[in-house]
């Protein structure tokens, strides 16, 4: 059983991950955005994921384990999901959102956002239990794709792009 930090009656405490989503509890999360020049690495979630399977998301995202620092969690999940090690992660901001992710599950997250620049030689080794596929895409092209086919993308990626691009990408934001 994985326990993640969630607020229950105003107190941060460990709560089982699925219960957090079933109850729509406000909880801690991380999201990582790996850039290579103007291109963002995105992933399509594995079809076996219990929510939003097969949808495109940012480079990686998850919930820290109880007591785990956000930066450590971000580094750990980059490795576990994509086999990526050694990038310098820059904390960009913390934000909060709430989204229906289907199957009567709610993501109500307080998210630490991390940005990293990748070298051209970055090796990616996706874990098939987590990731169906990856690709690099320019931010402006990604925004166009999301506008044309929002159902192909996770709710949180749509929220990040529509409401928080400047907080995440800074001067890399394109209209």
Catalytic residue positions, numbered:
61, 109
Q: Which two tokens stand for residue 155?
A: 């709710």
**Contact partners, residue 160, CB within 8 Å, separation at least 6:** 31, 58, 168
Q: Which two tokens stand for residue 94?
A: 């913390």
Q: Which two tokens stand for residue 61?
A: 């995202």
DSSP structure string for 40-55: EEEEEEPTT-SSSTT-
Q: Which two tokens stand for residue 113?
A: 């956002």
């Amino acid at each position: 059983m994985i326990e993640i930090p969630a607020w229950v009656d105003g107190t941060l405490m460990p709560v089982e991950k699925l219960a957090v989503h079933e109850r729509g509890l406000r909880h801690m999360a991380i999201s990582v955005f790996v850039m290579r020049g103007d291109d963002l690495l995105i992933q399509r979630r594995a079809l076996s994921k219990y929510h939003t399977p097969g949808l495109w998301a940012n480079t990686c995202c998850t919930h820290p384990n109880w007591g785990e620092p956000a930066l450590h969690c971000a580094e750990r999940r980059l490795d576990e999901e994509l086999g990526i090690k050694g990038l310098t992660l820059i904390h960009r901001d913390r934000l909060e959102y709430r989204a229906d992710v289907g199957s009567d599950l709610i993501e109500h997250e307080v998210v630490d956002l991390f940005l990293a620049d990748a070298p051209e030689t970055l090796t990616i080794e996706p874990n098939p239990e987590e990731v169906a596929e990856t690709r690099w895409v320019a931010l402006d092209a990604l925004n166009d794709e999301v506008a044309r086919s929002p159902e192909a993308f996770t709710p949180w990626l749509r929220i990040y792009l529509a409401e928080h691009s400047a907080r995440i990408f800074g001067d890399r934001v394109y209209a």
